[in-house]
Structure 1
Amino acid sequence: MALAIAPETPWQRTKKRFLRNKLSVFGLVVIAFFVLISFLGYLITPDDTPMSNRMNVQLSTKHPGSTFKFLSIRKNQQIDTVNVFTKLFFGQPDFFDFVPINSFKFNADSIIIDEYTGISGDEKLEKRYSLADVVYPLQAETKVVKDGEKITFTTIYGQKKSENIADLQKKITSENIVNRKYWLGTDLYGRDMLSRLILGSRISLSVGFMSVLISLVIGIALGALAGYYGGWLDQFISWLINVVWSLPSLLIVIAISFALGKGFFQVFIAIGLTTWVDVARMVRGQIMGIREVEYVEAGRAMGFSNARIIIRHILPNISGPILVVASANFASAILLEAGLSFLGFGVQPPFPSWGGMIKEHYGYIIIDAAYLAVLPGLAIMLIVYAFNLVSVGLTDAFNVRSQTSG
């Protein structure tokens, strides 16, 4: 007895067609990669301080692969180790100040360093630090008393300690002298480029997601009202759509940014309030084409409310086109955010926005540090291209004629 094979659902057919499009699958993989690194954030960045904002101006615009030696000096303030969830979203404040050095030597209860200045041929810049001050957080104006082979001091926690000088020297050599490699070089302020690029993906994806969410809420609501009810309401909403549609998106976003102010939250609100027109036009047209079909008429005959008919029966049937517009708007939102940050109206420093990074370093394109502007530009190009590939794949996958023929 032959077993009956269950027919494929529309979503299964759509998924199968989408997966046949290799470029769209590649775009989806790229998006998944950016989502993963943006989520992990501070857990994978070489610089896990808030905003990856650890500055060393002596290391300004160093080339990718550069390695430097540092003396880590304990800050004289109380700093707590945050839990993994806090670190994931906000980073870990630095326990140490990192001073780049060429060499170091010990002299009794002190360490003398030859500080790296970044200027070739410059005279040595020697600095002296107490061993206790390097290893422990000390009270303000505390005196470090040397007694033979030991030193005595008081920490910020009120603890009076006595440490052997030889032990402190070994501890500093093994734990406080560190080498750090900058895989993608450093920016204008000596910050790690790789860390800021990773966090920049979090900024771009967050702004894109929230902007698209706002545009979907506004666009679906207005488009559904216009398409379902028609009449004067449709005329008014269509007029509003055409007015917003006729204005350049970037100028509208800048105007809204002026009204709301500069900042992270203001950016995605401004972008969301300008990108809803694509959603509204599409939803209006789709609903106008199906508002008189049998299942809608059946819903009215059964006494269902208009809200239930729209939400429970009409919108699920146009979810495909909504996803297509949402993916295209996601790419537009990322470009708008980068443009705003480049012009100074978007996410403000020290937030590591890709557009802001290009703004800070576009002058280096004509010299030997062009990568400072090229790297964030490539990141923007890659993620926007990925969303456009996914949008094209969804357009083909949800095509009604291909569904009936395939």
Structure 2
Amino acid sequence: MATATTRSTWRRLKRNKGALFGIVIIILALFVALLAYVLAPDGTPNANRMIVEIGGQKPGHKQQFLLLPKERSFEKVSFFTRLMSGREDRYQYIPISSYTKTKDSLIIQQFIDEGITERIAYPYSATSFHDGYSNGMVNIITQTFYLGTDKYGRDILSRLLVGVRVSLSVGLVTVLISLSIGVLLGSLAGYFRGWVDDAIMWFINVIWSIPTLLLVFAITLMLGKGFWQVFIAIGLTMWVNVARIIRGQVLSVREMEYVEAARALGFSHPRIIVRHVLPNVMGPVMVVAASNFASAIVIEAGLSFLGVGVQPPQPSWGLMIKENYNFIITHNPMLALAPGFAIMLLVLAFNMLGNGLRDALQVKA
């Protein structure tokens, strides 16, 4: 019976083009989050390669670099470690305007600023010189910054790709926390009613009356600024919707004949709630979970923009907007608009998935 219901729900969901669009975007975001450090042109931890000489460049900017091996040695990094946290640069990136090769040295015009260069000669550290990568040799490469660079000279595209992890992580943690608290309190209030319902609803109404952003600020200041603190703070403020929905659903389900039969058979209250009540009220929960996922992404971006969310140098889309919003009124608005478009697209995907689930599960608004 459950399998047939699942198949019917999936068929209805597949007919919803908006929901399919949302699913495709979410799957792509998950793929990018997993392979961020492999896909990003800047594969350093947090995509934090700073080259201040080329800060604030427009999308499509091309720049030549002289790559000099750093003097200290580096431990070998496994593919899994690189996949999870990136790999530190083995080279020093020196922006150049042009270069000339002589018999024993490489003469470059180091790029300092627009129209300003400095002539520097580097002796060859090997018997030959060539373009490309090679340990122990001076190398020249040309890199294209497809979305430009921020004011610190970091690649916007790389930080955008790595920043997907923050947005998906905050959504996932928030949904897990909000569902855990909301389902527990909502099911207890709806099932037992009486003074239990009154006490829980009083607590819900108190939390409901506090503006979400103000409550997040208070929890964040209590827990401190940081990556996990902001996730927990957002999760602790978004369970109220879940609890109210679960309570309303349980109030109606608890009067059904199969619940009365379970009570007559002497089953315990926890078993009745877990085995018989909750499985039949999870449709609305899935819908509100998708909505909470989208809301969490927006709230995290807002907190990071205000400086109380994810802290530098970790890339967050909201933090990227904060760092580059001055460019909106100058000559290069795309530096701030790119993460804004990314937030909009991912939030739209979860909202459209939520709408599709609502129709497929036939949840009443």
- Pairwise same-fold verdict (TM > 0.5): yes
Q: Tell me which residue corresponds to 1:213.
A: 176
Structure 2 residue 26 is the aligned partner of structure 1 residue 31:
yes
Counterpart code for 2:339 = P
Report the secondary structure of 1:169's partner residue.
coil
Q: Pairwise CA RMSD of aligned residues?
A: 2.0
Q: Tell me which residue corresponds to 2:274.
A: 311
In structure 1, distance between residues paired with 2:298 and 2:96 = 40
5 Å-filtered alignment, 1:99-118, equals 99-106=94-101, 109-118=104-113
In structure 2, distance between residues paired with 1:231 and 1:23 = 42
Q: Tell me which residue corresponds to 1:125.
A: 118
In structure 2, distance between residues paired with 1:57 and 1:7 = 59
Superposition deviation, residue 111 in structure 1: 2.9
Report the secondary structure of 2:267's partner residue.
coil
Deviations 1:235-284 (CA, angstroms, capped at 9, x unpaired): 11101111111111111101110000101100110000000001110111
Structure 2 residue 8 is the aligned partner of structure 1 residue 45:
no
Report the secondary structure of 1:112's partner residue.
strand
**Percent identical:** 51
Report the secondary structure of 2:237's partner residue.
coil
- Which of 67, 76, 79 in structure 1 is aligned with 2:62? 67
Report the secondary structure of 2:281's partner residue.
helix
Is the contact between residue 283 and residue 363 of structure 2 (CA under 8 Å) also seen in structure 1? no
Is the contact between residue 81 and residue 92 of structure 1 (CA under 8 Å) also seen in structure 2? no
TM-score (norm 2): 0.95
CA gap 1:309/1:8 in 2 versus in 1, 3 angstroms = closer
In structure 2, distance between residues paired with 1:55 and 1:192 = 9
In structure 2, distance between residues paired with 1:234 and 1:173 = 67
TM-score (norm 1): 0.85
Superposition deviation, residue 172 in structure 1: 7.7
Larger radius of gyration: 1
5 Å-filtered alignment, 1:389-400, equals 389-399=352-362
Report the secondary structure of 2:270's partner residue.
helix
Superposition deviation, residue 81 in structure 1: 2.9
Deviations 1:276-297 (CA, angstroms, capped at 9, x unpaired): 0011101111101111211111
Is the contact between residue 95 and residue 110 of structure 2 (CA under 8 Å) also seen in structure 1? yes
Superposition deviation, residue 78 in structure 1: 1.7
Q: Tell me which residue corresponds to 1:135.
A: none
In structure 1, distance between residues paired with 2:329 and 2:131 = 45
The total of aligned residue pairs comes to: 362
The answer for unaligned runs of 5 or more in structure 1 is 1-5, 133-164, 402-406
CA gap 1:7/1:59 in 2 versus in 1, 3 angstroms = closer
5 Å-filtered alignment, 1:7-406, equals 9-106=4-101, 109-120=104-115, 122=116, 124-132=117-125, 167-170=127-130, 176-399=139-362
Superposition deviation, residue 74 in structure 1: 0.8
Counterpart code for 1:169 = F
CA gap 1:396/1:171 in 2 versus in 1, 3 angstroms = closer
Counterpart code for 1:45 = A
Counterpart code for 2:5 = P
Deviations 1:164-198 (CA, angstroms, capped at 9, x unpaired): x5x24348897711111111111111111111111
Q: Which ranges of 4 or more aligned residues in structure 1 deviate by more than 6 Å?
A: 171-175
In structure 1, distance between residues paired with 2:5 and 2:337 = 43
Deviations 1:277-326 (CA, angstroms, capped at 9, x unpaired): 01110111110111121111121222221111111111111111110010
The answer for unaligned runs of 5 or more in structure 2 is none
In structure 1, distance between residues paired with 2:128 and 2:267 = 79
